[in-house]
Every structure is written in C-alpha cells, then in structure tokens.
C-alpha cells in the first residue's frame, strides 16, 4: 500500500550525544493534515529533521510517495517535494520578502502569486527585509515560501513559537485550506494542542522518542485526557495525578 | 599639492590589487564560509601564468589576448582543483579548519610557483597602455586609472550578480542560513564552486593587468592578503563596494605615506625615513575595524561545526622525557658539527612550537605572531649587548620581557575577537613587527644581520664558542646545545604540566565553551591575557636561543611566511600535545629533518621551498584524513582502545562524535 | 530576616524590538526550590540568561542581598550563582572530574603559579563528593563524549553545584532523562537543598516541577501570569490554557496532587 504521500517506519535517529528517536512510525496521506503532539524533548522536531534529512537516521525507512528517501541528500529531498519550515522559520534576514519568493534551485519556479493569495498581507511588505518583520509576518513568510514551492509534503515545526494565539488562529486555517486544495500532505508539530487538533484530521502522540498509533483528531478533541497526560508530565509523573489506565501509549511503548 | 595627487594616483595600482584580493576574501566567505588566506596567492598564480604564456616559458608564446584567455582558463581549473582539494572535504568543518586549509593552499601555491618559476621577481609584459595623460599640470598614468576602474567594475558587477541573479540570490541565502538554503533545495557545494571560480577569475584579471605595475613576486603578492583582510573587515566580509573602496583607499594611503616619508618632517634617522609605517597603519586599521565593526563576522547558519582538535592527556611525562633528553645529549656530543647545529636548532624550534601549543592548542586562539615575538627577543638580546652592554643573564631576561609585553599588547587588542578573526590581527601584527621593527636599522637588523655576543657567566662560556668541542672537535660547541637542551626540557615539562593543572583546565574550559567557562567562574578575559603572556614568553625564550644558536639575527629568520609554515607544521603534527612541538621544532628549516632531506633527498639549494611544499601538501592531506593532527589521531585511537578495554564488550560502542551532519 | 538567596526585581530584556522578558519579579528563599514554568518561547531561558549575566537587562538582580546587575557572569558565579543549560554545555576536552574541578573555586594566584612547576593534583575527595551528590561518582574518569545525554545532564548539574553556590538556576535539567532518572534527579535536588543551596528550576515536565518545588512561578510572553504552591498552580485554569492553547480543557479537571 503506497497511497500515502509520506510514510515513516521504525525511524531511529539522534545527535552526537545519543539517540533521540527510538521507533517512530507514521504516515500522511495526500490532502491530509496530521498533528504530532507531545511534551518537549519527545522528539517531534527531531522526527521532522530526520524526514527532511537534516540529521541522518540510524534505522528505519522514510518514503516519499512510496520511494525510499535514504539515498537522497537534504537538498535533493527538498527538490523531490518536501518543504520543511523549521522551528527557527528558516528565513534569510538580509533578503526581502519578494526575494524569498524567488529563491529556489534552477529547475524550480516558485509560485509567488499563489503565496500572496494565501497571505495577502505579504504583498504590501514585499520589499522589506525579513529581519525587520514582526514574528507573525516572519511566520507568514516562512509558510508562504513553503507553499509557493508547491510541495507534496509540508512539514511545519512549531508554527506558534513566540506568537500570540490570535496570530496562530489565523495562520493554521491556511494550512488546512492549502492541504485540501492542493492534495498536500501536512505533518504539523504544534504545542497549541487545541488549535492543532482544530485543523488536523489525525494526530500522533509522542513521548521519549516513540510515537503512538494514530488517533482521529475529533476523538482527541472530545477526550483530552490522553493529550493532557502526555503533556502534563512524563507518564510516570502523571500517574500521581491520573489513572494509569488512561495512558494507552505507555502500553504501546512496552510492546516495542 | 600636485605631487600628492600623483602619489595618490600611483597608489591606485597596488590599491586595485588589494581591492581585488579583498573582493576574493569576501567571495570566499559568502560563497563557502571559508576565511581565505590564499586569496592573494590567486593573483600571484595568475601573474606567473600570464608571464609564462607570453614569454614562452612553456616552449610556446601566445599573443596578449590568447594569453589572457589561457590564463583565465587556467584560473578556472585552479579554482576547481582547490575546491576539490581544500574546500569540499571540509564543508562541514569548523571555520578554523577551513582557515587552516586555506593556509595550506597558500603555502603550497607559493612554494610550487617558486619551484617552477624560480624565486627571482619577474617583469611581466605590459597589458595596459603605458600612456600618461596630463590633466591640468598633473601627469596621470592611464594604466593605474584603468586598473582602479576595472576593479570597481568588478565589484559593481558582483554586486549586480548578487542582487539580481538566481545564483546571487542562492549564494546570499546559503551564506546567511545554510540549513534553510538546503531546505530550499539549493546545493551549497555547487554554489561554493561557482563563487570560487568567480573569485579566481577576478583575481586572474587583476593579476594579469597589474603584474607589470606591481611586479610579479611570490614573496610580496600573497602577503597583500593582510591589507586586503583589513579592507574585508571594513566590509564586514559582505559588501563588495566597501571592500573595493577600502582596498583602493589602503593602496592610496600607503602611497601617500611613502610620499610623506620623503619629507623632512617625517620621522627619520640620518636622513633615512622610518620604514614599515604602512604595515603598522594596516595593523592599527584592523584593530580599529574590529572594535568599530563589531567583534564577530556575520554569522553563517552552518550545518554543523567540527570542534577543535582534541587534547589528549599528558601522561607518564618523566618516563617519556628521560630517553629523549638523553638521546639529544648524546647526539650533541657525538654528531658532526652540521648535525649538532641541526639538533640545537631543533631544540630551539621546539620551544617556539611550545608557544603555539599553549595559545593554539590549549586556548584555541590561532595566533601567527609568535615568530615575530621571537624576533623581538632575538634582536633585543643582540641590541642590548651591542648598544647598552647588557649581556647574559640580564640581557636575555629583558628581551623575553619585551616579547611578553608586545605579545600581551597584541593579545589585548584582540581580546574581543576569537578563533578565526584573531588570525587577522596576529597576521597584521606579525607583518607590522617585521617591517617596522626588524627592518629598522636601529631597533632590528635593517638589511644586514646583527651579531650576537655569546652568553657567558663568571667567565665560563655557555655559548657556541665554548671550549668543549665534542667528539668532532669543531664548532659549534655542544655546551650551548646542552644548555638549550636543559631549557627546552624544562619548558617542555612546564607546558605539559600546564595541561594537567588548574590553569590548564581553565584554558581548556575556555577553549571548549567560553559561555560555560564564565558560568563556572572563569574570568575569560584575564585567562586569555595570561595565555598570551605565557606563550609570548615562550616565544621570547625561543628568540633568545635562536640568536645565540646562529650567532647573528636577521630579518629573514623571522619573516611572516616562515611563521605561517611553522604554524602549519605544528597543526599538521598535533597542536594540542607537547610532542607535536618537538616534531614541529625538529622539522623547522635548519633543524634535523630538513637537513637530512637536504643532504640525501632534495635538491640542495631549495630545501626551504620543498619543506614548505611538504607542509602545505601535508596540511591538506591531514585535514582530510586526520582532522585533529597526526599525533592526536593516534593518541585518540589509543585512548579509545583503553576505554573499550575498561568497559569490556558489554556496553554498546560510543556513538562516534562528528559523524552526523548532512549525508553528502 | 535574611535576604533571599536570589531576588529578581522588575527585570526586562529586549531583543531588538521584541520584549523577551517583561518586568519579572521573583524571589528564591534560602534552601528552597522555586519552579519556573511556561510554554515554549515564554522567556524562561532568557530570564536565566539575565540572572546569570549573559544578556543585558533592566531591573535588578540580587544574590543574597547583593546587587549583581552590573557584574560579569564569572563575577556573579563568585558571588554564589550557578547555572546549567538546556543543551548541556560541558567542556568536552576535559574529563568529568576536570569539568567539576574547573568550577570548584578560584585558587589563589600563588597556588595557580605554584602548580605550574610542581606536579599538579586534583582535589579528588572534593570532586568525588560533588559527583557523588548527584550519584555519578563512578563517572570520575570518563570523558563527556562517552556519556549518555542523561549522564551529561548530571555532570552539568554537578558542575553548577561544585562551587558551593547560594543559588543555582537549572534550565531543563530533566529534558532527555527517562522517567526513573527524572525521579532520582528530583530526590537528589531535594537532598542538595539541605546544604542550604536554593534553586530556580525550569522544566517542561510539569510533574517533575510540581513534585520537586516548594513554589512555582508561571510565565507567558515574558510576564508572570501566576505563582503559588504547586497544588494551587496545578488547578489554575490560566496555566492549563497557557500550556494547551485557549479554552482547552474545561471538561477534565485532573484535580490536585494528593
């Protein structure tokens, strides 16, 4: 079955000081928005970095529309259709908004008009340097750049970092619209759980470098205990406040 | 007034070359993130190649335009070869490693050019018209104007390319944030090679056009990197326009200083003007630029950095030292005079290299001023006895203190900078000391060598002229060698000991992580000054010993290219272990290893060049295969085996450091 | 009434136009552990940087009643401040014991000079004691590059405590530790307070913070939005909002800790 735009299977990866991911498996279908939720240090950003190739994976497989990404360099993965908006937004402070929407490898033509359509506010500031934009404008620019590349897979890392919830509430629906309109697979790491679940179709919970099986977003929305347990403390600590039975993914971890 | 204008215009010629080198430096920084000390060498290579094509050196002679095209084609090839040898393998390495690689390129190019074309300066056939047009009453040489206009056009063209083309956009993007550039699908390595080609084409054109004006010389052109670095600093390694303007201005300024030196009010002695004011001004400019434009270069969001070479522990010091010392002592008595001299020189070289171990190895500050400090002490000890009658032991003591003071002054002026930028300050300081102090007939040697009175105490000579003449019965006396051996062994133990004590721990803490060191209560600035003081004093001792060893001191012993070779050789061998200093010292020109090469392996007259060639090539190979240095690589291997033995096979192997990064 | 070990009075930090920390005041009493929590980007690490002297700030920072606002980082350390980093910043070229030894205290200049000429020694008993206090005495000889992330964290903590500071700022000490390691760390930190050392503890693991701290301060967008004893904070709606997004969890109030 290779209908998913992105599939990750048994991914393990880490940095110099040791592994961070121990077994992450997930898939995202075209046009689907999938959220990754979990406390800091769970390995959500690391998962995105391993998918886009910024860190090397030690085990497992990452497939883009069925083809293995292992032999591809990060730039080749980007050219193959992955757009990764990193936590720091990945902007070039000394370049203007318009230049951001022109920048790309030789064969890639960015669709700046489409980007401006999704984020009309950028048109007025197209001559401004990215470094002087506000946090919200920067995030818009980062997303606009990603969308202008017409990716088949969009990885979004902590869109909301340092932004007021109001701004985030305006940005996230754009992601939803884009995914639906362009059949783009979106994998979203987000700490504003409520907002993320508001636009996501499904979600994975992560803890200690291991992913859970996927939950339907509306299930999690209606029963926040799962999410809450994963956030408000590692499983063990949560158990001081919570009934152990409400923490299903501890059980899954044990099965690994 | 008119004369001033003429001199200003005459300065445009060398100013254009400086500007071109500065532009090359900026291109390298923005294109590859490397701090390119070899940017001046490109101009030199182009000059020589053009000369060779035009004069039939390769058994055929080309006309001007075919020769220009052939030279530029060669420069493209040169750019690609350097990219493959010295840039691409180090793409994810630290800026320091990249800098050292460019030093390897500089040494290699300079040595190769001299081996192939000879060491004498050449006169290149003119390319630009040698007309003079008269504006008002002022005769203006056209060539200088064309050259300056050409470099300005080059800067403007690059600015346009960077501003408006896809390639320029991509370069700016990857120099600002390499991670984001990779995520945008750009290939930093192809961007890097394109920029190298651009830089070398620019340097090539300027080299061809300027060669007849500034002269082709393998000893002067590569060192234009120093004023060029000053210009590049003013441009924050970013702006082509400022780099070009500052380069031209430095050329004009140097020419005006030259004009001023012909005036009676200029500081002089017996009608001879003070020499070396220009490099002194460049040094001051660099310090001003660093304080004014901020301490750090624009950050590149690089993928990852490889850290400095590891620092293995110094263990079983005494047990390892005793046989070495004994062997040296026996060699001093037994060997024939030529080799005895070489052993002494090796011992003194060891002391010099120890000073690099402290400042580069332990504190991680790449300083190239050490040899100049040695020179200060060397000339100091000569002048103190010849002029003031202060002999042994007070003379050498004062000389060492002088070196220490100058070293601390250089260190303090560089306190705000670290690592890569420090090399600019110390390089400029070294050139300034060489031209301003050593070339001064009063303070230094001027054009001639200065004799040094041999040391003696209570009527007993300790110098090379002492009574005991060893088995051969000839000069130099082993007595001085034995004294040098005692001093060297003591300092060797001192530097090794330093690594194990509190001060050394603090140095390594600062080297590893200045922030964390401060958070552990280390006064980072005070510690750096202390390190500069210790390493300057070591260099001073080396200088005094050199003076006694050779019996004379001359400017050429302490010149900048020699200093760069020594830095490179210590880095190749192992800059963080005292053993590296020993090997570096005995590999110095005049010491044992080159003597052996000279006697049996290499052509006799050019051993210095070949040694430089070996060091340059060795540096590039080592950075590729043993990035930490040869000794350290073997020590690390030993240590890892020890750890694995201790742990047994139960635990999984340690994740090797520095293996991550982008799958290339 | 003695002055608190650490007092932060009206501290603000600006980066360009952005206000990363806005008029924050808090006190860490002697021998107590105060937790500092808040969502990502709330300005917690920036506040620690301001306390330790790594960023310039408005307002006052006092250690044991002494104003240290104008002092450089190393001088603050000598007044009794310790800190750790989220990404542990060890001296990778030094062994674990040497890492701790660097922070143990400033020897007199004379002792430092003397050591250059006689065989230097390391105060094994004292370094070992510091390592033992966080339960890593067996790592004495190891090199930092050979350690796991959790062990590196502990070395960083040991180093922060090595100079017998009055107060230590711990930035995410439990991130990257597994559950049992985190629990052990909490106990060790509590144990270290018996020596009179106070702590300002930042962590995302709220269970860990609530289980370890005497008092908790919550920040969002650079401002303090709540403070009080752990059980009060745990029940605070605004805190839960700050963590999980607006109006998230009305239905499932978890109740306070028993």
Distances (CA, A) of B517 to A254, B270, C44, C100, C113: 41, 53, 21, 11, 20
Residue A201 neighbours by CB under 8 Å, 6+ apart = A32, A33, A34, A216, A217
Chain A contact set for B92 (CB, 8 A)? none
Decide the pairing of beta strands A67-68 and A57-64.
Answer: antiparallel
Residues A58 and A100 in one domain: no
What's the rounded Cα separation, in Å, for the pair C227 and C239?
Answer: 10
Q: Do A232 and C254 touch (CB under 8 A)?
A: yes
Statement to judge: residues B253 and B324 lie in one domain:
no
Residue B454 pLDDT: 84
Q: What is the spatial distance between Cα A10 and Cα A22, in angstroms, rounded to a whole number?
A: 8
Q: Which chain A residue has the Cα nearest residue C235?
A: A241
State the DSSP code for B301: B
Q: Is residue B660 part of a domain?
A: no
Assess if residue A161 is contained within a domain. Answer: yes
Residues A159, A224 within the same domain: yes
Share of chain C above pLDDT 90, in %: 33
Q: Could you tell me if A221 and A174 lie in one domain? A: yes
Disruptive mutation site among B29, B172, B179, B184 for chain A (greatest number of A CBs within 10 Å): B184
Are residue A70 and residue A111 in the same domain, yes or no?
Answer: no
- On whether any CB of chain C is under 8 Å from the CB of A66, the answer is no
Tally of structural domains, chain A: 2
Select the residue from B180, B188, B192 to test the A interface by mutation, using most A Cβ atoms within 10 A. B180
What range does the domain containing B433 cover?
A: 317-635
Partners of chain A (3+ Cβ pairs below 8 A): B, C
CB–CB contact A18 C148 (8 Å): yes
User: What average pLDDT score do residues C55-72 get?
Assistant: 91
How much is the pLDDT for A155?
96
Are residues A75 and B182, on separate chains, in Cβ contact within 8 Å?
yes
CATH number for the domain spanning B146: value is 1.10.3470
For A126, the domain range is 92-150
Between positions 640 and 659 of B, the ones with CB within 8 A of A are: 655, 657-659
Give B29's contacts (C-beta < 8 A, 6+ positions apart).
B35, B36, B175, B232, B237, B238, B297
- Nearest CA to B369 among B287, B433, B276? B433
**Is residue B221 included in any domain, yes or no?**
yes
Residue C105 forms contact with B (CB below 8 Å): yes
Report the gap between the CA of A221 and the closest CA in chain B (Å): 33
Contact A54 B662 (CB under 8 A): yes
pLDDT at C82 over 80: yes
Q: Specify the higher pLDDT residue, C257 or A69.
A: A69
A141 in the same domain as A167: no
φ, ψ of residue A204 to 5 degrees: the values are -110, 140
How far is C9 from chain B, CA to nearest CA, in Å? 21
* B503 and B567, same domain (yes or no): yes
Q: How far apart are CA A179 and CA A128, in angstroms?
A: 28
Q: Within this chain, do residues A160 and A233 fall inside the same structural domain, yes or no?
A: yes
> In a 3-state reduction of DSSP, which class is residue A45?
helix
Pair A226, A194 in one domain:
yes
Q: Which of A150, A175, A196 is the last residue of a domain?
A: A150
Q: Give the pLDDT score at C254.
A: 39
Q: Are residues A75 and A24 in the same domain?
A: yes
* pLDDT at position B660: 37
In this structure, is residue A1 part of a structural domain?
no
pLDDT at res. C7: 93
C167-197 pLDDT, tens digit per residue, is 999 998 887 677 777 888 888 899 888 888 9
Contact between B231 and B22 (Cβ < 8 Å): yes
A144 and A158 inside one domain:
no
Q: Which of B205, B160, B184 minimizes the C-alpha distance to B21? A: B205
CA distance A61 to chain B (A): 15
- Same domain for A121 and A185, yes or no, is no
Domain boundary (A118, A150, A182) is at A150
Do B72 and B216 share a domain, yes or no?
A: yes
Low-confidence ranges of chain B (pLDDT < 50): 295, 300-306, 649-664
Give SS3 for C227. strand
| Secondary structure (3-state) at C52 | helix
* B338 in a structural domain: yes
Q: How far is C244 from chain A (nearest CA, A)?
A: 5
Residue among A184, A186, A229, A185 at smallest CA distance from A205: A229
d(CA B415, CA B407): 12
**Taking the alpha carbons of B79, B82, B84, B90 in that order, is the dihedral positive or negative?**
negative
**Which pLDDT score, from 0 to 100, does residue B650 have?**
40
Beta strands C167-171 and C198-202 are parallel
CB-based contact B520 C159, cutoff 8 Å? yes
Q: To 10 degrees, what angle do helices C96-103 and C149-162 make?
A: 30
> Does residue C233 sit in helix, strand or coil?
helix
pLDDT band, residue C251 (cuts 50/70/90): very low
Tens-digit pLDDT profile for residues B4-62: 888 888 889 889 999 999 999 999 988 888 889 999 999 999 999 999 999 888 889 99
Q: Which of A150, A177, A194 finishes a domain? A: A150
- In-domain check, residue B311: no
Min distance C231 CA to chain A CA atoms (Å)? 11
Residues A74 and A98 in one domain: no
What is the value of ipTM here, to two decimals? Answer: 0.87
User: What's the confidence (pLDDT) of residue B647?
Assistant: 57
CATH number of C6-244: 3.40.50.300
Q: Are residues A144 and A205 in the same domain?
A: no
Residues B249 and B328 in one domain: no
User: What pLDDT score does B648 carry?
Assistant: 52
- Written as tens digits, the pLDDT of chain A (256 aa) is 447 899 999 999 887 666 788 889 999 999 999 999 887 777 888 999 999 999 888 899 999 998 999 999 999 999 999 999 998 888 998 899 999 999 988 888 889 999 999 999 999 999 999 888 888 889 999 999 999 999 999 999 988 877 777 788 888 899 999 999 999 999 999 877 888 888 999 999 888 788 888 888 888 888 777 777 666 544 433 333 333 333 333 333 333 3
CB-CB contact of A45 with A87 (8 Å):
yes
Examine residue B200 and state whether it is found in any structural domain, yes or no: yes
The model's pTM is 0.85
Kindly tell me the burial class for residue A209, based on how many C-beta atoms sit within 10 Å of its own C-beta (0-12, 13-18, 19 or more). buried
What is the spatial distance between Cα C218 and Cα C240, in angstroms, rounded to a whole number?
A: 10
Q: Scanning the structure block, which residue is given the tokens 């370094």?
A: C127
């Amino acid at each position: 079955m290779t209908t998913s735009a992105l599939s990750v299977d048994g991914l393990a990866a880490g940095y110099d000081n040791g592994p961070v991911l121990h077994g992450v498996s997930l898939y995202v279908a075209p046009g689907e928005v999938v959220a990754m939720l979990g406390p800091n240090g769970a390995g959500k950003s690391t998962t995105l970095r391993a998918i886009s190739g910024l860190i090397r994976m030690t085990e497992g497989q990452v497939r883009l529309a069925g083809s293995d990404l292992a032999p591809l360099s990060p730039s080749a993965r980007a050219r193959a259709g992955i757009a990764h908006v990193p936590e720091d937004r990945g902007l070039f402070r000394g370049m203007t908004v318009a230049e951001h929407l022109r920048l790309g490898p030789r064969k890639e033509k960015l669709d700046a008009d489409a980007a401006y359509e999704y984020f009309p506010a950028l048109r007025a500031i197209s001559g401004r340097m990215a470094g002087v934009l506000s946090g919200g404008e920067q995030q818009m620019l980062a997303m606009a750049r990603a969308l202008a590349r017409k990716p088949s897979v969009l990885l979004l890392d902590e869109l909301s970092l340092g932004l007021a919830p109001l701004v985030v509430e305006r940005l996230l629906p754009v992601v939803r619209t884009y995914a639906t309109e362009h059949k783009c697979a979106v994998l979203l790491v987000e700490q504003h759980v409520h907002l993320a679940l508001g636009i996501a179709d499904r979600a994975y919970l992560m803890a200690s470098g291991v992913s859970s099986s996927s939950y339907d977003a509306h299930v999690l929305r209606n029963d926040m205990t799962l999410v809450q347990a994963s956030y408000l403390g590692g499983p063990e600590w949560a158990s001081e406040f919570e009934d152990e039975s409400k923490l299903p993914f501890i059980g899954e971890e044990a099965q690994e | 007034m008119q004369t001033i204008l003429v001199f200003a215009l005459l300065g445009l010629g060398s100013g254009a070359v400086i500007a071109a080198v500065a532009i090359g430096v900026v291109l390298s920084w923005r294109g590859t993130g490397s701090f390119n000390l070899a940017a001046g060498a490109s101009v030199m290579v182009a000059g020589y190649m053009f000369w060779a094509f035009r004069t039939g050196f390769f058994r055929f002679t080309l006309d001007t335009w075919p020769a220009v095209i052939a030279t530029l084609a060669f420069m493209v090839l040169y750019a690609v070869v350097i990219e493959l040898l010295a840039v691409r393998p180090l793409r994810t390495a630290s800026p320091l490693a990249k800098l050292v690689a460019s030093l390897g390129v500089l040494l290699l190019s300079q040595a190769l050019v001299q081996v192939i074309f000879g060491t004498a300066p050449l006169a290149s056939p003119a390319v630009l018209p040698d007309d003079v047009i008269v504006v008002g009453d002022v005769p203006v040489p056209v060539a200088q104007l064309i050259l300056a206009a050409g470099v300005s056009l080059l800067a403007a063209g690059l600015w346009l390319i960077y501003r408006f083309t896809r390639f320029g956009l991509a370069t700016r993007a990857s120099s600002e944030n390499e991670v984001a550039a990779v995520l945008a699908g750009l290939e930093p390595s192809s961007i890097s090679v394109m920029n190298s080609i651009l830089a070398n084409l620019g340097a090539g054109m300027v080299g061809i056009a300027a060669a007849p004006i500034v002269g082709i010389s393998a000893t002067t052109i590569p060192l234009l990197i120093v004023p060029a670095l000053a210009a590049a600093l003013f441009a924050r390694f970013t702006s082509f326009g400022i780099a070009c303007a500052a380069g031209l201005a430095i050329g004009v300024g140097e020419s005006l200083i030259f004009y001023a030196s012909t005036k009676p009010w200029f500081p002089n002695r017996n009608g001879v003007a003070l020499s070396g004011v220009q490099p002194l001004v460049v040094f001051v400019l660099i310090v001003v630029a660093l304080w004014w434009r901020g301490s750090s270069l624009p950050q590149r969001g690089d993928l990852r950095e490889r850290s400095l070479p590891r620092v293995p522990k110094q263990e079983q010091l005494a047990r390892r030292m005793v046989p070495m010392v004994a062997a040296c002592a026996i060699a001093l008595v037994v060997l024939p005079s030529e080799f005895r001299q070489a052993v002494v020189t090796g011992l003194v070289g060891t002391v010099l290299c120890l000073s690099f171990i402290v400042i580069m190895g332990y504190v991680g500050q790449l300083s190239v001023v050490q040899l100049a400090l040695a020179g200060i002490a060397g000339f100091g000890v000569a002048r103190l006895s010849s002029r003031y009658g202060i002999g042994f032991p007070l003379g050498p003591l004062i000389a060492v203190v002088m070196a220490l003071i100058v070293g601390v002054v250089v260190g303090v002026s560089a306190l705000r900078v670290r690592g890569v930028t420090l090399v600019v300050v110390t390089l400029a300081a070294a050139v300034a000391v060489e031209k301003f102090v050593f070339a001064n007939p009063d303070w230094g040697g001027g054009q001639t060598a200065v004799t040094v009175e041999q040391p003696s105490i209570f009527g007993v000579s300790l110098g090379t002229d002492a009574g005991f003449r060893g088995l051969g019965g000839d000069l130099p006396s082993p007595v001085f060698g034995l004294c040098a051996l005692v001093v060297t062994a003591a300092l060797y133990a001192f530097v090794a000991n330093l690594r194990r004590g509190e001060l050394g721990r603090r140095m390594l803490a600062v080297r590893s992580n200045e922030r964390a060191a401060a958070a552990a209560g280390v006064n980072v600035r005070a510690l750096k000054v202390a390190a500069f003081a210790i390493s300057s004093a070591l260099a001073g001792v080396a200088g005094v010993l050199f003076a006694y060893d050779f019996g004379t001191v001359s400017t050429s012993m302490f010149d900048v290219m020699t200093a760069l070779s020594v830095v490179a050789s210590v880095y190749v061998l192992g800059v963080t272990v005292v053993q590296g200093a020993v090997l570096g010292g005995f590999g110095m020109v005049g010491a044992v290893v080159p003597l052996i090469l000279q006697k049996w392996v290499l052509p006799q007259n050019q051993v210095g060049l070949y040694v430089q060639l070996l060091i340059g090539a060795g540096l590039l190979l080592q950075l590729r295969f043993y990035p930490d240095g040869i000794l350290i690589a073997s020590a690390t291997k030993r240590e890892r085996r020890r750890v694995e033995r201790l742990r047994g096979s139960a635990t999984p192997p340690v994740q090797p450091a520095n293996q991550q990064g982008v799958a290339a | 009434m003695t002055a608190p070990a650490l007092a932060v009075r009206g501290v603000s930090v600006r980066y360009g136009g952005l206000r990363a920390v806005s008029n924050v005041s808090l006190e860490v009493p002697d021998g107590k552990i105060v937790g500092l929590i808040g969502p990502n980007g709330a300005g917690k690490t920036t506040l620690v940087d301001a306390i330790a002297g790594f960023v310039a700030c408005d307002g006052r920072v006092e250690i044991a009643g002494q104003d240290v606002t104008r002092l450089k980082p190393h001088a603050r350390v000598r007044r009794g401040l310790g800190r750790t980093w989220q990404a542990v910043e060890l001296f990778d070229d030094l062994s674990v014991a040497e890492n701790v030894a660097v922070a143990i205290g400033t020897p007199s200049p004379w002792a430092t000079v003397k050591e250059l000429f006689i065989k230097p020694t390391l105060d094994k008993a004292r370094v070992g004691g510091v390592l033992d206090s966080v339960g890593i005495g067996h790592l004495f000889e190891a090199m930092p590059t050979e350690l796991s992330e959790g062990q590196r964290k502990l070395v960083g903590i040991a180093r922060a405590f090595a100079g017998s500071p009055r107060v230590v700022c711990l930035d995410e000490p439990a991130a990257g530790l597994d559950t049992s390691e985190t629990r052990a760390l909490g106990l060790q930190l509590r144990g270290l307070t018996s020596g009179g050392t106070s702590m300002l503890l930042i962590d995302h693991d709220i269970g860990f913070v609530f289980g370890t701290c005497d008092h908790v301060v919550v920040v969002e967008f650079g401002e303090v939005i709540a403070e009080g004893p752990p059980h009060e904070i745990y029940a605070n709606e605004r805190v839960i909002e700050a963590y999980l997004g607006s109006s998230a969890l009305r239905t499932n109030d978890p109740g306070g800790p028993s």
